[in-house]
Each structure stands twice: as C-alpha cells, then as structure tokens.
Amino acid sequence: MKALLAEVWSRRALVASLWRSDVLGRYANSAAGFIWAILAPLALIVVYTAIFSALLGARVPGGAGGPARPLGSPIPNGIGFGFFVFAGMLPWMIVQQTAQNAPGSLLNHGATLRRFAIPPSVVPAAVVLSAVTDAAIAGALFVVVLAATGRLAPVRLLALAPAVALLAMMALGLGLAASALNLYGRDVAHAVAALLPFWFFATPVCYPSEALPLSLQWALALNPMDGFLQTARWAMVGGALPSVLAVVWSAAAAVGALALGAWIFQETRGDFADLL
Amino acid sequence: METSPTSSESAPLVRAQDLRKVYRFYPSPLARVRELLAGPGARFHREHTALDGIGFELGRGEALGLLGLNGSGKSTLLRILCGVTRPTSGSCEVNGRVSTLLDLGAGFNADLSGNQNLDHASMLLGLRGETLEQLRPRIVEFSGLGDAMDDPVRTYSSGMVMRLGFSLAVHVPFDLLLIDEVLLVGDEIFQRQSLRRIRELLSQGKSIVLASHSLGDLTAVCDKLLLLERGRQALVGPTGEVIRRYLESSERSARRISEGDRLLQGTAVPQETLGKIRIAGVQVLDGSGAAVPELASGEPVRIRIRYRAEEPVEDPIFRVQIFRNDGLWLSGTNTARGELALGKVEGEGTVTLVYESINLLDGDYFLSVGVWPDEYPSYLSRRPFDLHDRAYVMRIRSGRPEGGGIVFSRHRWERE
C-alpha cells in the first residue's frame, strides 16, 4: 500500500493531467463549457432541496406537516430536509462516480498503457480525483447556499478535510481492486453496476437512519458510508454529533479497503500488459 | 560515420539476456478461477511462446534492426524494451531514457486540441513543464501542423495525428528510440523528413531499434541485425553478415505458407469461394522452368498454376497479384487482360504467367492467386471460384547494385 501510494504521489502531476484531460474533454465542444461543472451540481441542489422538502419532507417524521418530533432528533424539517439529503449525497457521489468509472478505466486507457511506461495505478487514482473534485465543486456551491440561508458554521467545516481524505482512500481502494479485476473478466464492471443501487438504498442518503426498522440497524452499523454521511451532515448542516463508533468504523474500513485494493492491484499488475 | 561509443560509457545502453515471453490464453475468465482453485499443476490455459532465448547488447549510437515476419515477436520485443511488457523470464536492462514510435495516436484525447494533447503527452512521458515549453516550437514546426495545433484532434486526418505523434517522439530527450517500421509511412515529404531526422539522431549518438520486414530499410539504417523466427533469435550480428546468411538459407524461398502460419492470418481476407474450380498448386519458377530458392531481378519468372475443375466452367479468369510484405499491392494481372481466353475448362490443367523480366528489387514478395468467374465490375463484389490470398512467397535477389527501392527499370547513364 505504501509503495503504491508513493508511486501515485510521485506521478501526481500525471494524475492531475489525466484528470485535466478528462475534464477538458468532457466540456469541449459545448457552448457553456465549464459553466456546466457548476450548473449540473447546482441543479442537483435545487432538485434535492426543493423536491425532498416539498414532497418527502412532508412525509418523514418531523417533516413539515408531519407529527411532532422528539426533542434532539437530528432530522431537520422543511427545507432543512432537502439540505440534509444533499449533505449526505455529497459523500455518496464520490463512491458512486468511482464505482461507475473505475472498473473500466484501465481498459479505456489501454492504448496509452501499452505505449507509455507509466504506472497503471495513476489511472484509477485520476478517476478518484475526478470524483472528489466533482463532489468538491458541488460541496462548495452547497456551502455558498448554506451561508446565504444563514445555516453555516464555518468551524465545523474543518471536519470535512479528514473525512474527504478517508473517503478518497476508500474510493481508491475500490477503484484499484475493480479496475484490476475487471481486466480478468468484464463481469466485475457489470457486478459493481448491479450492486451499486443496493448499497445506495442501504445507505441513509434519502431517508433518515431512524427510518430503518430495528431489525435492519445492524446493516447500517456495518455500512462504512454511515460514518462519512454523519460527519458530512454534521459539518455542513449541523444536528447531532456523529457517533464515535460509526466514524471509527468508517475510518478503519477506508484504510482496510485501500490496503486490500492496493494489495490486489500489486499482485495482479504484472499481468496488465498482457490483458490490455 | 563514426559510431563507436566513447570508452567512458562502459555499460551498454541495452543488455538483454535470455529473454522469454509466454502469453497465456484462457478460454474464459472462469478457467482462470478454476486454475487458481485447483492448485499447482492444474492447467486450464494454452500458452503461446512469443519470445524465447533472446539475448543481445546495444551500445550508444548503435542501430539494431529486428528482422522477421509478422508474428515473429518483433512487437513483443519492442514492448519489453520500452518497459510496458515484462518478460516471463530473463532480464532486459535499459540504461537510459526511451522514446517510442509505436502506436502513434495512443494517449491522444480526440476532444482536446493538438497543443493540449502535447501538454498531456509530455506528462505521460514524464517531461517537466519547462522542457516541453522549450521543445514545443520545434515539435510544432516539424509536424507542419501550424494553426491546426489549436484545433481538436478529432478534426485531424490520421496522417496529421501520426505527424504530431512522430514529431513529439523524436524531439523529447531520449537515449533509445524504438521504431515500428509500419509507421514510417505517410506522405512522402514527411517520410523523407522523418528518415532524415532518424539519421540525424543516430549521428548525435542516440540509439535506435527498428523493427521491419524490409531488408532495404534495415541495411540503410542499422549496424546490427537480429533475425527473429517464431520468437527465436535465428541470427544476430553485423548487418551485412546477417543478410548474407539470411539469403543463403534457401528453405525460405518460394514455398507455400502452411495453414495456421501466423504470418498471413492477420492480412488475408477471409472470403467465401464458389468452388467448382480449385487451385491445386502454384510454383514460382525461373525462366528455364526450374524451382530455385531465389529469383534474380531483371530475369524471367514463370508462375505456374495447376487447377482442377470439379465441374466444367466457362471462361474462368486466373488472376495473380504481387504484394510487398506490408500488404502494398505492387502489381497484378489476369488472363482476361492477357487475352488468354480459356474457353470451357474441364478436369485438371495448368496455366502459366510468364514475366519476361521481373523488375523488383531485393526482398520477399507475396503472391495472391485466384480464379474468378469474371473480371468486372469489381473483385470486391464478386466471389472467386478459389483464392489463395497472399499465400506464396517469391524471393527476389538483386545480383548487382541496381539501385534502391522496390522497382527497378532497365537503364543506363549518359553524359551529353
């Protein structure tokens, strides 16, 4: 894991260049260009705040028009529910975008990897960088909106830094493993795509964790995303402090995922040139 | 040209020892899992030995030519030299920076401009930003792309993409340049410019490995040759000596390339045939009708085609085409153009195409022999009775130094 991280770090300019080329390519030949990088997440914010507050917010306990909620519950009501959903969406976006783009990434860069003697690890690393940057743009806009509506506590935002770092580690671990294994059988990309919705709905992004029945709370306890979501929500929209157990578990899972992903990648990389 | 390396450079630039590369083919991903689970000894794959027992050294300022047919391992060896592929066993040390002329369009993003792609490619090559900025004007000038450098690469022709890739590869700092000969095509002016640049680099003490099946190019550029045959190092040594011994080995002359020979599988067009009349055998003979290992430029050649008609056929047309070994169609003719009307053809027989003088220079050429129902409107839209596409080799040797290139025309010089 150390060797792999050192390798990626030593070629960080290349990772950035891969990311840059990806972004430039994405917005090339479009009239609005980079404005889309802001418009798309802005639209997401509008959708989540408006739709979830207006429609779903009314139905969840404590939502506007719902029954009175017990004191100290972390779930805000009204437009606050939209903010609550969006704050949880941001960490999920990193995982989702990595899961969508990482498995095929080595294959997509096959021609490049066959010609240039570059460490292949930079390719999934660039995917993660791209996912983190997109979430960061959306997050920055969200922070502006929060500030404008007077909901921001700047000090709490500091908690995001370690959370994003750990989340990026987890995403990199997944990206490394999926991109390497997908070279042996394309089933990996399909399986990841098929399993992703299960993980999404097992993660309390669009619903408060209290909405899960008691019989399913164990699944929530095992889900490494929960600590990240709790931290992101607390940092951006406030509410209850994240549970120490969930945060520690998420951090451990992130380090574990990176160690496992790096191990798989290092064990298999000798075969890459022949499989590409 | 002085090519001897300076004595201070004691270690050779490249030292390859006993290189071996085996590719494994698994029928399905599950076979790989099964093999993993079954433990040692179990085998669920088939192997292809692409390289075996390759060993050579290359000094600074030297040019090594890799000579061999398609599928003989040239590309695998180039990939090992540029550090992309690892050998299965053996070692390959390269004590310097490598630049490649392989797969020139690789790494380019079609949506980005030429200049943006240069930025990105320089990162792939591990160049520093300021190095690129120093090189950029020369790269752009050499490529001849000018203002097109600001257009997206998707608007480029394939030739323009190659020029950009070539220009980048020959201007970045390197000690060893790997070239796949197939890439030395393109428009003629650029091709000449490219060859001039390669010679210039050699004289600057850069080393080159050039993979080719053309003896002419190899003799023009290389000091040493390595002849690959089915992944094995058949010969290695100074260019003149290797070529002499290569040409002496007569078994490689006019022969039918066996079924399953990897050489032609890539290039031959699979085509449905009508049957009815079959090509039973083809012989490439000299003027006297004798089978010889090689034919001489300017001398007569007889191509003898034996056929067998399974049912009577009216006026079939026999067609012979000559290709260079990279697939370039050099010449072709048929019995209709030669005004040989065959009438009703039954049973077995022979037709012979006689070249009064074969005006091709040194090299191996490939023959396609086919029997067709008619000539027009197009061979592409018709099915032949039978076709042996690029299935025969014709080795031509120039006895005298007639000149360079592919074609030779009888000539003399005069002073007026």
SS (H, E, C) B127-174: CCHHHHHHHHHHHHHHHCCHHHHHCEHHHCCHHHHHHHHHHHHHHCCC
**Together in a domain, B92 and B168:** yes
User: How does residue A117 score in pLDDT terms, banded at 50, 70 and 90?
Assistant: confident
**Which of A13, A18, A117 has its CB closest to that of B84?**
A117
Is residue B48 a part of any domain in this protein? yes
Cis peptide before B152 (omega within 30 of 0): no
Q: What is the pLDDT of residues B306-363, one digit of tens each?
A: 999 988 988 899 999 998 766 678 888 888 877 788 888 888 999 999 999 888 888 7
Instruction: State the pLDDT at residue B255.
Output: 41
Judge contact between A177 and A261, C-beta under 8 A.
Answer: yes
**Together in a domain, B137 and B243:** yes
User: How does residue B187 score in pLDDT terms, banded at 50, 70 and 90?
Assistant: low
Cβ contacts (< 8 Å) between B105 and chain A: which residues?
111
pLDDT over threshold 60, residue A57: no
Is residue A72 a part of any domain in this protein? no
Q: Which domain holds residue B152?
A: 14-250
**Together in a domain, B235 and B274:** no
Judge contact between B385 and B273, C-beta under 8 A.
Answer: yes
B396 vs A227, higher pLDDT = A227
Mean pLDDT of B185-192: 66
Q: Extract the tokens encoding A178.
A: 């999926």
**Together in a domain, B235 and B275:** no
Cβ distance of A21 and B109 shorter than 8 Å: yes
**Together in a domain, B214 and B274:** no
pLDDT over threshold 60, residue B143: yes
Cβ distance of A24 and B85 shorter than 8 Å: no
Instruction: State the pLDDT at residue B258.
Output: 36
Distance from CA of B247 to the nearest CA of A (A): 33
**Together in a domain, B89 and B232:** yes
pLDDT over threshold 60, residue B105: yes
Cβ contacts (< 8 Å) between B124 and chain A: which residues?
14, 17, 112, 116, 118
Cβ distance of A14 and B126 shorter than 8 Å: yes
Is residue B407 a part of any domain in this protein? no
**Together in a domain, B216 and B302:** no
pLDDT over threshold 70, residue A111: yes
Instruction: State the pLDDT at residue B86.
Output: 87
Q: What is the pLDDT of residues B256-283, one digit of tens each?
A: 443 333 333 333 444 567 788 988 888 8
Is residue A30 a part of any domain in this protein? no
Is residue A258 a part of any domain in this protein? yes
**Which of A14, A28, A113 has its CB closest to that of B112?**
A28
Is residue B262 a part of any domain in this protein? no
**Together in a domain, B176 and B34:** yes
- CATH code of the domain containing B303: 2.70.50.60
Is residue B255 a part of any domain in this protein? no
Is residue A43 a part of any domain in this protein? yes
Cβ contacts (< 8 Å) between A117 and chain B: which residues?
82-84, 98
Choose from A20, A21, A129 for mutation: most chain B CBs within 10 A. Answer: A21
Instruction: State the pLDDT at residue B3.
Output: 39
Cβ contacts (< 8 Å) between B103 and chain A: which residues?
111, 114-115
- By a Cβ cutoff of 8 Å, what residues of chain A touch chain B? 11, 13-14, 17-18, 20-21, 24-26, 28-29, 111-118, 184-185, 187, 270, 273-274
Cβ contacts (< 8 Å) between A184 and chain B: which residues?
29, 32
Judge contact between B331 and B375, C-beta under 8 A.
Answer: no
Instruction: State the pLDDT at residue B402.
Output: 59
Q: What is the pLDDT of residues B5-63, one digit of tens each?
A: 444 456 889 999 999 999 888 888 888 888 888 877 778 888 889 999 999 999 888 99
**Together in a domain, B165 and B64:** yes
How many CA atoms within 13 Å lie on the side-chain side of B22? Answer: 10
User: pLDDT > 70: what percent of chain B?
Assistant: 84
Mean pLDDT of B199-216: 83
B188 vs A209, higher pLDDT = A209
Is residue A24 a part of any domain in this protein? no
Per the structure, the count of domains in chain B is 2
Cβ contacts (< 8 Å) between A13 and chain B: which residues?
123
Is residue A154 a part of any domain in this protein? yes
**Together in a domain, B219 and B132:** yes
Is residue A82 a part of any domain in this protein? yes
- Say whether A42 sits in a helix, a strand or coil: helix
Cβ distance of B119 and A17 shorter than 8 Å: yes
Cβ contacts (< 8 Å) between A20 and chain B: which residues?
120
pLDDT over threshold 80, residue B111: yes
Instruction: State the pLDDT at residue B215.
Output: 66
Q: Which domain holds residue A98?
A: 2-12+37-65+78-275
Judge contact between A271 and A183, C-beta under 8 A.
Answer: yes
Please state, as a whole number, how many other Cβ atoms lie within 10 Å of the Cβ of residue B334. 18
**Together in a domain, B239 and B274:** no
Instruction: State the pLDDT at residue B294.
Output: 80
Interface of B with A in 81-140 (CB under 8 A): 82-86, 98, 100, 102-103, 105-107, 109-112, 116, 119-120, 123-126
Instruction: State the pLDDT at residue A96.
Output: 93
Is residue B302 a part of any domain in this protein? yes
pLDDT over threshold 90, residue A98: yes
**Which of A13, A26, A115 has its CB closest to that of B84?**
A115
Is residue B113 a part of any domain in this protein? yes
* Cβ–Cβ contact B79 with A under 8 A: yes
Judge contact between A15 and A22, C-beta under 8 A.
Answer: no
Per the structure, the count of domains in chain A is 1
B30: nearest CA in chain A? A185
Is residue B295 a part of any domain in this protein? yes
Judge contact between B206 and B99, C-beta under 8 A.
Answer: no
pLDDT over threshold 60, residue B120: yes
Choose from B112, B124, B130, B177 for mutation: most chain A CBs within 10 A. Answer: B124
Mean pLDDT of A22-51: 81
Is residue A47 a part of any domain in this protein? yes
**Together in a domain, B234 and B313:** no
Mean pLDDT of B238-265: 52
Helices (H), B235-341: 239-248, 262-265
**Poorest-confidence range of A130-144, A259-273, B269-283, B385-399?**
B269-283
Cβ distance of A115 and B82 shorter than 8 Å: yes
Q: What is the ipTM of this complex?
A: 0.78
Cβ contacts (< 8 Å) between A118 and chain B: which residues?
124, 126
Cβ distance of B123 and A14 shorter than 8 Å: yes
Is residue B6 a part of any domain in this protein? no
